[in-house]
Structure 1
């Protein structure tokens, strides 16, 4: 049953009628290793490793990821939520009605559920939404190259006038078997 589900979910590439629009996130397809820094409200930092996997899904009309911190195989003692473990998935779908991406993040470990809209902003990708308390959130991909990028999560406590950095992920292409980099960043996204 698992094989049939994965076969129905996965796609070999972008849908033919969406190829040009899928480039914004298509370069992420494959596996990434993460260095994660969480910035605590008290000024402290928590550093961890992670892994992030992206693939084409739903006949190539969406990109789905699986985000895991700490990586599989590392000791995951005790209560997952209390230890800030994360094992979740994002579905990114290009929406031609608004010429932007609809994004849904789900983390069943931390009970974190977010909806955002993503667009190109210069050489970066910016995703905007609100957290569970209604505060503006901003997630951004920057410093993008074919082999690395910086992913930053920020929250605003004054409705977008200023932003507090919550977390940063430095990502590098994984040497993991099965990696695919069929779609590289377009000009201006390297």
Structure 2
């Protein structure tokens, strides 16, 4: 298995990716998270780990929400579209998204439903905020869930 991890994990971003498209670079590392769904008041404590992979051309993460969901995303920079192609998978489901920068946010839009988005915002060295939103017919955002993350590594 050591050969697998050595082949998968990269120590840094590939130089082919222009710095202005290094959207997710600040997320590399490990985070303690609080996951809050809008229709529940409970907070699920979990972890979210990010690493450069595939010779630094992609970022993979693992999200761990005990007794709720375990999943992984693969974010691959696409030099043809100047965006990131994203696949998120968890038991029984794979979701495809495209990530682009929008002001100070990274907006991941579902390929099959442009009204559904994931938003990374307020990405700092030691914390970030993530939201799962649905855009309503009137243009307002409905927040389905929030994640509040604090760096642990």
TM-score normalized by structure 1?
A: 0.74
Once superposed, what is the RMSD of the aligned Cα atoms? 1.9
Task: Structure 1 unaligned segments of length 5 or more: list them.
Answer: 71-75, 77-84, 180-190
Residue 94 of structure 1 and its aligned partner are, at CA, apart by 1.0
Asked if the contact 1:39–1:46 (Cα under 8 Å) also holds between the matched residues in 2, the reply is no
Task: Point out 4+ residue stretches in structure 1 off by more than 6 angstroms.
Answer: none
The answer on 1:162 being equivalent to 2:140 is: yes
- Greater alpha carbon shift after TM alignment, 58-67 vs 135-144: 135-144
Note if contact 1:21-1:94 (Cα within 8 Å) is conserved in structure 2.
no
Aligned residue number for residue 12 of structure 1: 11
Aligned to 2:49: 53
Shift of 1:162: 3.2
* Equivalent position of 1:185 in the other structure: none
CA-CA distance at 1:33 after TM superposition: 0.4
| 2:84 aligned counterpart, secondary structure | strand
- Residue 103 of structure 1 and its aligned partner are, at CA, apart by 0.8
Q: 1:97 maps to what in 2?
A: 80
Unpaired stretches in structure 2, ≥5 consecutive residues: none
Corresponding residue pairs, total: 153
Q: Shift of the alpha carbon at 1:156?
A: 3.5
| Distance in 2 separating the partners of 1:144 and 1:63 | 16
For 2:130, the equivalent position in structure 1 comes to 151
Equivalent residue runs for 1:34-183 within 5 Å? 34-40=33-39, 44-70=40-66, 76=67, 85-108=68-91, 111-129=92-110, 134=113, 136-156=115-135, 158=137, 161-174=139-152, 179=153
Q: Indicate if the aligned counterparts of 2:119 and 2:132 stay in contact, CA closer than 8 A.
A: yes
The Cα of 1:21 is off from its aligned counterpart by: 5.0
Three-state SS of the structure 2 residue aligned to 1:11 is: coil
Higher strand share: 2
Q: How big is the shift at 1:126?
A: 0.9
Residue deviations 1:117-154 (CA, integer Å, cap 9, x gap)? 111111111111156xx472111111221110110001
The TM-score, its normalising length taken from structure 2, stands at: 0.90
* Pairwise CA distance, 1:16: 2.3
